Structure 1
Amino acid sequence: MCGVTGYMNLGGAAVEDDGVLDRMTATLLHRGPDSGGRFVRDGVALGFRRLAIVGLEGGDQPILNEDGSIAMVCNGEIFNHRELRAELESKGHRFTTSTDVEVLVHLYEEHGTGLLERLNGQFAFAIHDSRRRRLFLARDQMGILPLYYAQPAGQIVFGSEIKAVIEHPAVVRRPDLTGLDQVLTFPGTVGARTLFQGVSSLENGHYLLVEDGEVRTVKYWDLDYPLDGEEEGGHPDAYYTDTLRALLEQSVRRRLQADVPVGYYLSGGLDSSLIGALVHRVGTGTRPRSFSISFADRGIDESRFQQLMARHLGSDHHETAFRPVDIAGDLRRMVWHAECPVKETYNTCSMALSASVRESGTRVVLTGEGADELFAGYLGYRFDLGGRRAAGDPFEDDLRRLMWGDPHLFYERDYHAWRESKLDLYAPDVRDSFADIDCLAEPVVDPRMLRGRNPVHQRSYLDFKLRLTDHLLSDHGDRMALAHSVEARYPFLDPDLVRFATTVPPRLKVTERTEKYALKEVARGLVPDEIIHREKFGFRAQGSPALLREGIDWVEDLLSYDVVKRQGYFDPDVVEHLKKQYRQPGYEVHPHLGDDLLLTVLTFGVLLDTFSLPDNA
């Protein structure tokens, strides 16, 4: 992976550089420590930092087409590049590098924006077409790689991370309180929203086109399930498990393509264990490295299962021991990379894990994200088998109708009741203007993609949009891996595999007794039964109660009455009450039924400090 950034004048006037592009690009050094590149011409500036993975020599960007009229910078990998290159060369296109992403330049010449239909990969790229005075930005179907943009007067500014965008002098730094409200309501930010006012995330499966002074975004892909009752394809059960096994093996093989060492994460659960087993089956030519993290707290430690799988596969296993004190030591840097507040501390563990990968000399890791969302891996899927849940509260009914298009669709919590509880946490001034920042005032997903679908598929779509794309793949995945210049790849999110997953009948995903039924069938013979039959165990670490008990000076300072009051976003009296509650001996926030509100307050305070965001005066 790499880092891309740039800006363009919407009116087509020449850009004034004055070192701006270099400062923007410098913020992305951790994403691409190997080399950099720049392109300033025809009213556009493009910056690039490279993490060399494929085509190590001569793969610097920007990459131009044969006559120099098209310039491209790309963060990511195109896994079907060999087939595409052969096709393009047969049509007379000339390649100047051995990198996978050069196919984008020539595909654009052939297909324009339609090139996106041809790609199997994880990518976020910018293509400038000087003849049409067009800027084309695109993000992959699953949203694995991020891309952010802002539209200050007469310009568009973009970057792989928000820190590159706000480095542009025309972009004003202010917190986005609707983004904060999303973090307090959902696993993280959702859709185009960020924690920075005026800075948008290009959503997964979308592209952005700047042409004739206009900016428009277009959805080119979405997770589209069949209507309820149309899932059965008339195939025997073995067809689904056999096809799934073949597609998953193909996906792993694609994601082992690299000119640098590739390893994999082992969490101790089914998903990463299955990926690890397939890595060994496909073969890398060397003894694969596996990476895991362990905790002294036996209540959250999974090292027994990690070591069991590592022995089973014979991997070169690397285990990182993580202590509660490490959380406080890494929390500030974690927020700088994540660019948003969090309600769990496990991002610091993920960052320590990627450090271990980098220290071993490995640059790419395969990981198991996506399986839970596509194959019914969370407890809520079994809950849904009990029937649809009526709210009974007319206010909750109205909210569900607005958000999901269905007053009977329950997802995670009663949002009206939570809205009332959440209000207490905000400072009085924020509370008084809450209607202006309420993230539930409009739909956060497209209700049409839920309408008429099976409840299992409705939950899958919501998990995909609200949990996976903008949280697990973004602040938890991409940012924590690239903090140490490591590329993460996701075999379960191969477009061919995802497309097939939408055709697997719900009855093969979840039963009354087990989640991920089809995936467990695929794993038989590859993964020990002890791991296949484990209860779902979420990756987590100690929360803010443990931090408070450590008595860390900077934590105490950021959560102090005076600082919280001065910042003006949260009610200092409520924060004091939470601190008293969280400090009680043995108190812990329930990992499934509660939100660590103090951690959100703390990490929002870190965000304000780290990015020089103003107080709510």
Structure 2
Amino acid sequence: MDVEGGHQPLPDQSGSVHLVANGEIYNHRGIRAELGSERFVTDSDSEAALHALLVDGPAGLTRLRGMFALAFTTDDGEFVAARDAVGVKPLYWVRRDDAVLFASELRAFDEADRPAVESFPPGHCWTPNGGLVRFADAVPAQVRPARRAEEPGVWDDALVKAVREAVVAAVEYRMMSDVGIGVFLSGGLDSAIVAAVAAEYADRHDQPLPTFAVGAAGSSDLAAARVVAEHLGTEHHEIVMTSADAAAALPRAVHATEHYDPSLVRSAVPNLLLAEYASKRVPAVLTGEGADELFAGYEYYHEAPFTDPGALQTELVRTVGELHHLNLQRCDRTTMAFGMEARVPFLDRDLIELALSIPPEHKMVRPGVPEKALLREAFAGWLPEDILWRGKEQFGDGSGASEVLSSLGGGDSTAGSHPVDGVRLRTEEEAEFYALWHQEFEGIDPARTLGRFATT
């Protein structure tokens, strides 16, 4: 918003208060109305965060609806650093005796500081006087534990309507842009729903909607995305990935994502190629991340021990809280590697609260009923039936990336019982990706920066 006027560091009218922020504040217009538009000197959404902090101090962070990592400072020594509740945007820090350092990327830290680099926790802020304080939870406390369903798998029209309206509102919030927006369309259910809502919004506002799909020649994702794009009438773009493309992108994917988890890297390769192409056409895209964690889309959610409703609910809450170390890290880094922003409607705070308040029994598969049946039913009529009820495929599989990458080497054999550099590596493929990671990030401790993935 306000590309011309929103240069950072962003000052207030006096010039004595400044903010740097990465991300988007979707409710910035509401905050302007609450605080008084006369305070504002730009139309940048980030300025809403500046004045919320100026008026309320760190408590002002609770006003913000969006994705962000930010630092706020005044000439008289006040300082606040903060990260959004889900951790959609990255933030790292180092606490030294003489200074506290913050950055959005691991590579920003000097060699001497790298052993102490940590992931800054989502939903927290830090001030010199108050230290580290939580201001928001990824999963609001009131949704835990979910109530039990009287009749598992049987829901009323009101719940279907509530899910649909929450998704529509979340997508429409994220259509905010002065310079255009597109959709990453994998052909799976989640991105297809996002594209359908975005297309309806674009039609109402008489604006184009570019959609972007990537895959190996003949891949199921490319075919499905084409069907969705034709149904919605979007400006569709396809990137056909070859083995040579994948081989060239693999080291870049490890370095861009700052990660070495095999499933994440495999899916990051096509994401990186897609982002490189799309960034030349739009500054921001919507994606379908988060829906599987909210509505139990992954296959393992439907296996023991998660066939118990309570265990399933606990696992869904856990995985939403861990997204910033895995899928969100891939989503953000592959797009921002080319200066393009990825927005994640399914991780809107209201949608998270609604989805995780749904009885977990409603998210369990039953004979003849696939995963995410409630979400599918909520968007009946919005998509072709074969897309609406298409079975779940991992992005790396549906795009053909897993098959293409497997031809380059690696594999799933064990990496051995001896950890490398004290880091536990589960497979030969992971060991190869770790070697690429280590070239760029030597000195970084994965246990401090990659969370549960690196420690279990």
Q: 1:498 to 1:387 in 2, by over 3 A?
A: closer
Paired residue secondary structure (1:302): helix
The equivalent of 1:172 in structure 2 is: 113
Paired residue secondary structure (1:454): helix
CA distance in 2, matches of 1:109, 1:163: 31
CA distance in 2, matches of 1:604, 1:341: 5
Quote how far apart the aligned CAs of 1:230 are.
Answer: 5.9
Quote how far apart the aligned CAs of 1:570 are.
Answer: 8.3
Paired residue secondary structure (2:158): helix
Match status 1:88 vs 2:22: no
Amino acid at match of 2:196: A
Paired residue secondary structure (2:125): strand
Paired residue secondary structure (2:395): coil
2:48 pairs, out of 79, 90, 103, with 103
2:57 pairs, out of 112, 120, 123, with 112
Quote how far apart the aligned CAs of 1:521 are.
Answer: 0.9
CA distance in 2, matches of 1:73, 1:321: 37
Match status 1:493 vs 2:347: yes
CA distance in 1, matches of 2:188, 2:315: 21
2:289 pairs, out of 369, 379, 385, with 369
CA distance in 1, matches of 2:236, 2:191: 14
Quote how far apart the aligned CAs of 1:200 are.
Answer: 0.9
CA distance in 2, matches of 1:237, 1:208: 44
CA distance in 1, matches of 2:74, 2:410: 57
The equivalent of 1:139 in structure 2 is: 83
Match status 1:218 vs 2:145: no
The equivalent of 1:477 in structure 2 is: 331
Deviations 1:283-337 (A, max 9, x none): 25223111001213x5x64222111111111111111111222222122222222
The equivalent of 2:173 in structure 1 is: 254
Paired residue secondary structure (1:473): helix
8 Å Cα contact 1:70-1:130 kept in structure 2:
yes
1:462 pairs, out of 295, 318, 334, with 318
1:294 pairs, out of 215, 233, 245, with 215
The equivalent of 2:402 in structure 1 is: 542
- Identify unmatched segments of 5+ residues in structure 1: 1-53, 174-196, 389-452, 551-558, 560-564, 576-594
Deviations 1:561-588 (A, max 9, x none): xxxx9x96389xxx9xxxxxxxxxxxxx
Aligned residues: 425
Q: What's the TM-score, normalizing by structure 2?
A: 0.85
8 Å Cα contact 2:215-2:270 kept in structure 1:
no
The equivalent of 2:18 in structure 1 is: 71
1:514 pairs, out of 370, 374, 388, with 370
Amino acid at match of 2:105: E
Q: 1:117 to 1:537 in 2, by over 3 A?
A: same
CA distance in 1, matches of 2:324, 2:102: 19
1:601 pairs, out of 416, 427, 431, with 431
Quote how far apart the aligned CAs of 1:535 are.
Answer: 1.5
Deviations 1:161-193 (A, max 9, x none): 1112x14x7x434xxxxxxxxxxxxxxxxxxxx
Which structure has more relative contact order (CA 8 Å, sep 6+)? It is: 2
Paired residue secondary structure (2:41): coil
Amino acid at match of 1:110: V
CA distance in 1, matches of 2:149, 2:79: 40
Structure with bigger gyration radius: 1
**Identity percentage of aligned residues:** 30
CA distance in 2, matches of 1:309, 1:138: 38
Q: 1:219 to 1:56 in 2, by over 3 A?
A: closer
Quote how far apart the aligned CAs of 1:254 are.
Answer: 1.2
8 Å Cα contact 1:137-1:209 kept in structure 2:
yes
Q: 1:253 to 1:222 in 2, by over 3 A?
A: closer
Quote how far apart the aligned CAs of 1:520 are.
Answer: 0.5
2:230 pairs, out of 308, 311, 321, with 311
Q: 1:274 to 1:378 in 2, by over 3 A?
A: same
Q: 1:568 to 1:266 in 2, by over 3 A?
A: closer
Paired residue secondary structure (2:59): helix
CA distance in 1, matches of 2:388, 2:210: 22
8 Å Cα contact 1:141-1:204 kept in structure 2:
yes
